[in-house]
Structure 1
Amino acid sequence: MRQTAFVLVLAACLVGAGLVSPRLAQAQDAAAPFDGDLQRFAEILGSLHYLREICGANEGQKWRDEMQALVDAETPSGERRARLIASFNRGYYGFQQTYRTCTPAATLAIKRYLAEGSKISRDLTARYAN
């Protein structure tokens, strides 16, 4: 149930991010005021993509698809796009180098990342959505 709430909040964040993007269109590669939060959010999605799989969630490409939805909604170009993708990959590969199987620490990391991701998406939506 908690995961469903996270996805719903993520969806709200994506809508919010999509509403903000047109205002920033004139400066395609310029950093948006929320880019740091989006990069952290992307890193969390990458981490969850790896960790949920090794912990047997059987979600397939769910978290990668969520990252793609974020990129599609935000439509970053150039350096902004590269930074978001690098953040996702950093989250994924960071845990891939550390965990080969699901451990209690991996399960705890999942819980913490779900909570942090939910908080970031709520904060972004509250702050930037119209």
Structure 2
Amino acid sequence: MLRSLFVILGLVLSVPLIGGGATAHAQTTEDNAPVATYTEPPPYQDRLLRLAEILGSVQYLRDLCNGESETSWRDSMQALIDSETAGEPQRRESLTAGYNRGFRAFASVYASCTDAARVAEARYRREGATLVSEIVARYGN
């Protein structure tokens, strides 16, 4: 998780202008097929969900204002989902839905890049950087 969060933090901070917790335990059946065992989500799950929404919003706004598709935000979100939700399909769905919700929220408001869209993108990047820093500081090991 920490590696993915640091990549996201680097992305958030590099554009001009994320420990502990419960995890799924890997088990196998007789034919060695993996079986996920549900455990409670980590204490930072709500923060990760907010971060997913922010990354979706920033992805949409960056694409809108740059005029070309930029995949680094989506790729970072995918890396975070992969590292954070292995064997936990409900958490995976939740974080994916958060990302999509963030993306659609701005798609329904901005059809073209405006000064307000640029301000929103900058604010969301700052909030994302703060969230990543807090998660790493509090839950990183």
Alignment map for 1:1-130 (pairs within 5 Å): 6-7=9-10, 13=18, 19-20=19-20, 23-26=22-25, 28=38, 30-56=40-66, 58=68, 60-76=70-86, 77-130=88-141
Number of corresponding residues: 119
Q: Which moved more, 1:54-63 or 1:106-115?
A: 54-63
Whichever structure has more strand as a proportion of its residues is 2
What is the rounded CA distance, in whole Å, between the counterparts of 2:12 and 2:62 in structure 1? 19
Q: CA deviation at 1:57?
A: 6.5
| Larger RCO (alpha carbons 8 Å, 6+ apart) | 1
Structure 2 gaps of 5+ residues are 1-6, 26-36
SS of residue in 2 equivalent to 1:60 = coil
Name the residue aligned to 1:16.
none
Larger radius of gyration between Structure 1 and Structure 2:
2
What is the rounded CA distance, in whole Å, between the counterparts of 1:49 and 1:37 in structure 2? 18
Q: Which amino acid aligns with 1:74?
A: E
Q: CA deviation at 1:61?
A: 1.0
TM-score if structure 2 supplies the norm length?
Answer: 0.74
TM-score if structure 1 supplies the norm length?
Answer: 0.80
What is the rounded CA distance, in whole Å, between the counterparts of 2:39 and 2:78 in structure 1? 19
What whole-Å deviation, never above 9, does each CA across 1:22-63 have from its counterpart, x for those lacking one?
x53346352221000000000000001100011117462111
Q: Is the 8 A contact 1:29 1:79 kept in 2?
A: no
Q: Which moved more, 1:27-36 or 1:39-48?
A: 27-36
Distance 1:9 1:128, change over 3 A: farther
Structure 1 gaps of 5+ residues are 14-18
Q: Give RMSD over aligned pairs.
A: 2.4
Runs of 4 or more consecutive aligned structure 1 residues displaced over 4 Å after TM superposition? none
What is the rounded CA distance, in whole Å, between the counterparts of 1:58 and 1:6 in structure 2? 22
Q: Is the 8 A contact 2:11 2:73 kept in 1?
A: no
Percent sequence identity over matched residues? Answer: 41
